[in-house]
Amino acid sequence: MPPTSPVADPNAPSLELLTTKSMLYAAGVNHGVNPYLVMGLAWWESGWNEAAVSSAGAIGIMQVMPAAAESDGPVLLHRQVNLTDPQDNIDMGTAILAANLDRYHNDLAKALVAYYAGGAAVTDWADLRPDERHYAWGVYLLAVAFRDGKGPV
């Protein structure tokens, strides 16, 4: 009997998504950040769309502002970054998240609010705006879903 061809799963994620997931995971490990948190943040920000550009001008998978990349790239990565390059974008966004976690002594809510709205927005949980709380909870819940193998992809 001739061998049968494997049947592709129509619900399986694309190779592009698997590559993005691998890059996000590796960036988390490289920067000492929970990889599932990096995945959740990136999914919340762009749905892992490397071509995403926000109305504010944030670019790519991690939705990094060009001014942040220009100033933080040399400090955090010791080089300039190209935000349209998915690897650079992920590396820069993850480095910013790692720096936020360090700055706020691993207070996840504060680190996420800083990523979302900048350091001036960081305050106690009770004083956060509803959109800032929604952001922090949303990213956290996505990180848990990715950890448990139940993420959107």
Q: What is the CATH number of the domain that holds 44?
A: 1.10.530.10
Helix axes of 130-147 and 108-117: crossing angle, nearest 10 degrees:
120
Residue 2's pLDDT is 54
> 74 in helix, strand or coil?
helix
Residue 10's pLDDT is 60
Q: Is residue 10 part of a domain?
A: no
Rounded to the nearest integer, the mean pLDDT of the chain is: 93
Query: Could you tell me how many helices (H) and strands (E) the chain has, helices first?
Result: 6, 0
When pLDDT is averaged across residues 11-25 and rounded to a whole number, the result is: 81
Q: Is residue 44 part of a domain?
A: yes
Q: Is residue 3 part of a domain?
A: no
The two three-digit tokens of residue 94, written as one number? 């993850």
**How many domains would you assign to the chain?**
1
When pLDDT is averaged across residues 51-72 and rounded to a whole number, the result is: 97
Tens digit of each residue's pLDDT (9 = 90 or more) over 125-150? 999 999 999 999 999 999 999 999 99
The residue ranking higher by pLDDT, 92 or 6, is 92
User: 16, 45, 50, 70: which one is catalytic?
Assistant: 45
Q: Is residue 4 part of a domain?
A: no
What is the domain extent for residue 85?
Answer: 15-53+62-147
Nearest to 123 by CA among 98, 104, 137: 104
Tens digit of each residue's pLDDT (9 = 90 or more) over 87-106? 999 999 999 999 999 999 99
Residue 17's pLDDT is 79
- 45 labelled catalytic: yes
Q: Is residue 86 part of a domain?
A: yes
CA 102, distance to chain mean position in Å, is 16
